[in-house]
Structure 1
Amino acid sequence: MSSDSPEPVNRDVLDRLLQEVSPTNELAEGGSAFEDQTVVFTGKLPELSRSEATEIIEAEGGRVTSSVSGVTDLL
């Protein structure tokens, strides 16, 4: 699987997640729902590997860390 072409089921999960993290469902021109956000994954990800999820978050301008801290935006 190509890192810039997620499987359809994974793309659907990510699209729904992007809608949830954008309260207005509208992003600034050129912006991203994960831009400047720090994300920590916990537990099992049912549809993606952690590396796939990390690649997607980073491609959308976010950062993925391994532990929760005061700068964590999404868990």
Structure 2
Amino acid sequence: MKKYCSYSNIHDKSKYHFHALKHTTAVHLAESDMDIKELQWWLGHKSVTNTEIYFQFTTKQQEKMYSKLEAKSEMV
């Protein structure tokens, strides 16, 4: 990552590391409805608890939840 930061003229390399790339990819996969067990395997986590971090409520997930609630309220 340091090499790529140098290529991009990024001088503060403290925020740029492999884990940031892995985290971003995992969040995108979680948002694209990947099963939590599949993501656990892909990330190499022994415990699903570690994988649950990537399934926190993002904007997209909140919108899905609100849509479901709205659909249910229309039935009442």
TM range (shorter): under 0.3
Higher helix share: 2
So what's the TM-score if we normalise by structure 2?
0.26
Greater strand share, structure number: 1
